[in-house]
A and B are shown apart, each in its own frame.
Chain A
Amino acid sequence: MAFVRVARDGVPVTQAKDVALDPSLGKRFTLKTDVVVVGSGAAGAVVAYEMAKAGRDVLVLESGRYYPSSEFTEHLGDTMTKIYQDQVGQVNTTADIIFVQGACVGGSTVIGACVMEEPGDKVLDGWAEKYGLDALSAEKFRPYLDKIADELQIHTNEAHEINACAHKVIQGCEKMKYSWKPAQRNVKQCALTGHCLAGCPSDRKMSSLVTHLPWAAAHGARIFSDTEVVKVKTRDGRARGVEARVVDPDSGVHVADMQVDADMVVLAAGAIHTPLILQRSQVPDRSGQLGKNLAIQPFTQVLGKFKEPLYGFRGALVGVQVDEFTQTDGYTIFSGLAEPESLLAQGDMKAGEAHIQFMKDYKYYAGVNAFSQDLGNGYVQWDGDAYNGDKTIHYNPSREEFENMKASATLAARIFFSGGAEKVYLPTFQSLEANSVFELDEKMDKVDYGIKGMYTFRSNSFSPHGTCRMGADPYQSVVSPSGELHDTPGLFVADSSLIPESMSAPIQWTVHALAKYVSDQINDNASNYFIG
């Protein structure tokens, strides 16, 4: 009988400083492995665990730093600098939409708000039918979702996890007769600190940092941080490993170049970086869809000011969601109030006394994030050579998407007024607030689509997906139904890039389950990929 010991805390990670101090590695070194997994977030961690558990030699390469929970400070500004992609400066080409992403061992699961939602049977069956993805039908995909629910302790928020901010949303919904429900989250014994976005120092959030990664390591997986994969190596048309560079995250010093020889490459760097790696690698793509179909689930933060102090920043960050319009219109609204520093980025920017008053009223605010479904017409592109080029994220809302964002934010404002708000701050670049529901439409009418909808709503994206669409038709999709690229054997994608079209539910649960599904595809056909 085999014994597998899981460390009580932390993950064994080889960091840039370790590489720099190891004379046996030098400035250029080569590692050999069965499977190299690129990325350690929701997808990469699951693949690493499933592959290592199946007895494969697994190497995980993460471009971000290793930031163990013992170093979490609950200071959002500091955390953003250390483990958010581009210090939260990852934006579209017009710099008016922020793409929030984790850049650390554990990826976005470390900094997420723990919100978990299934894609829905209708969505899954739609994918099965439209893209020839029979294995993703609701019936066949269900076991993967269920398994992830067990592993990540996903549960529906209980009463104590619904804070005052969320209660205002509930009150508004009840009056409007809108459907709402407690959110589902992957957290155990939530301590209600409200600091989810800065990481959970007591390890209650079931991020990859405390689940699949330590489990993978217990099965022998090796994990490197500070290691950015530049390109996939191919020989005779088949993936044979990767080229990477190890960079010290504090000094920016290029510590070493790494070559990895592997039987299989699994990309799990997320919907922005996975297609960029493939573009840099110049892999064949008959579909012409590589990097395209970027869907972003844009959201804006709407603030309501109430008569009584709410302390809406206390308690579980996300309590409830408004699901009245999710299926019909693609709008989903989640309760949640940011802390003062991010409130500044999203909130009012008046001068002098008005600003002081705004911040003085902090305890009277409730906040929601108003999501809308987009059409998936964005794209990501690598410009320049593989080593010195740069990424660009091309997304600006179409008029239809702009109207969806406006409608979702307006609904959020109406819910707050119905819940008793005295004033609602609108999520627009121009400073707009409504003092009653009767002037809401007039204020919203001031937000004009203008040129490509730029600088209208202060939008963010936490859930980009779709840039390596999965499907049976190699002329319409980048990745086959098994997760392997249509035109490059031995090269798999396992992350949100796979999602074949824009979806409205938060994607994390789906991504974990897709990664487990792709892992099964590999393990079930291991004799085709591995010798021995």
Chain B
Amino acid sequence: MNSQLQAQKIQHIWQRGIARRQFLKWGLGSVAAVTAVAAGGFALLRRSPRDEMTPPDWVSHLSATEYHLFDRAREVLLPVAGTPMIDSANVPVVQNVQQTLGFLDPVTRKELGAGLSLFDNVVVFSHGCRFVDLDDAQAKALFDRWGEGSVLQRTLATVIKQLVYSSYWREPVTWPPAEFDGPVSEKWGLAYLGNAPMPQESSLDVQQEQA
């Protein structure tokens, strides 16, 4: 799915799922809570080995933590091992996510950034690490749990899933394993019929121009 179109969809999902004030209240409350405990063990627990990994050069509109979050979400949401599907590591999923987010208006983008941070950090207390360091089963369970949770949780989980899935399936290379044919007219050599002949009128001699 095209990035611009996808951005529109994400924006709508976001806006309908998050009453802006409610989210800000939520987000700010979370940030305050994070700040309050940051001096203690929380900061230690939320450290991830991934933080030491420098994102690729093409990353410009994602923060390093957002890059790692989407890259981990890609691994968790698209487990193709044992299937004919294309390994998501060979599809520019996170690049496409970045492109899509680039189309969001600044306000939505900022709110979404806060939401992504919340999603990444929400399991620190319960699991002692961030989302990016959960194992596959735990990470999937988080998506499932939030997919059935509150409006805020459902929206965040849906936005991440929609971004990752669309960024994967928009690439034609992913279609053959699903046996979707993609464009066929050229492949089939279909004859081009051109404009339809104008209806014959009694007062006019209508000619169809020949090729």
Residues of A within 8 A of B (CB): 1-10, 53, 73-75, 77-78, 80-81, 86-89, 91, 94-96, 150-151, 153, 188-189, 191, 193, 195, 201-204, 206, 210-211, 214-215, 218, 309, 311, 313-314, 339-341, 344-345, 349-353, 355-356, 359-360, 362-363, 431, 455
**Which residues on B sit within 8 Å (CB–CB) of A455?**
16
CB of A211 within 8 A of CB of B5, answer no
**Which residues on A sit within 8 Å (CB–CB) of B54?**
none
CB distance from A3 to the nearest CB of B (A): 6
The residues in B between 1 and 25 inclusive whose CB is less than 8 angstroms from any CB of A are: 1-2, 4-5, 8-9, 11-12, 15-16
CB distance from A277 to the nearest CB of B (A): 24
CA distance A455 to B8 in the complex (A): 17
Residue B1 contacts which of A74, A95, A96, A341 (CB distance < 8 angstroms)? A341
Q: Known contacts A81-B4, A81-B5, A362-B178: does B77 contact A352 (CB below 8 Å)?
A: yes
Total number of A-B contacts with CB less than 8 angstroms? 186
**Which residues on B sit within 8 Å (CB–CB) of A349?**
147, 158, 161-162, 165
Residue B2 contacts which of A77, A211, A214, A340 (CB distance < 8 angstroms)? A77
CA distance A344 to B169 in the complex (A): 9
Across the two chains, which residue of chain B brings its CB closest to A210?
B195
Q: Known contacts A350-B147, A353-B79: does B180 contact A362 (CB below 8 Å)?
A: yes
**Which residues on B sit within 8 Å (CB–CB) of A202?**
185, 190-193
Across the two chains, which residue of chain B brings its CB closest to A82?
B2
Across the two chains, which residue of chain A brings its CB closest to B170?
A77
**Which residues on A sit within 8 Å (CB–CB) of B201?**
53
Which segment, of B40-48, B113-121, B126-134, B203-211, faces chain A?
B203-211
CB of B184 within 8 A of CB of A313, answer no
The residues in B between 135 and 161 inclusive whose CB is less than 8 angstroms from any CB of A are: 136, 140, 143-144, 147, 157-158, 161
**Which residues on B sit within 8 Å (CB–CB) of A340?**
169, 175, 178, 180
CB of B211 within 8 A of CB of A211, answer no
Q: List 16 A-B contacts (CB under 8 A).
A: A2-B204, A6-B195, A6-B206, A88-B9, A202-B185, A202-B191, A215-B198, A340-B169, A341-B166, A344-B169, A350-B147, A351-B143, A351-B157, A355-B165, A360-B178, A431-B147
CB of B165 within 8 A of CB of A188, answer no
CB of A6 within 8 A of CB of B193, answer no
User: Does B83 count as interface, using CB distance less than 8 angstroms?
Assistant: yes
CB of A75 within 8 A of CB of B183, answer yes
CB of B80 within 8 A of CB of A356, answer yes
User: Does B199 count as interface, using CB distance less than 8 angstroms?
Assistant: yes
**Which residues on A sit within 8 Å (CB–CB) of B197?**
6
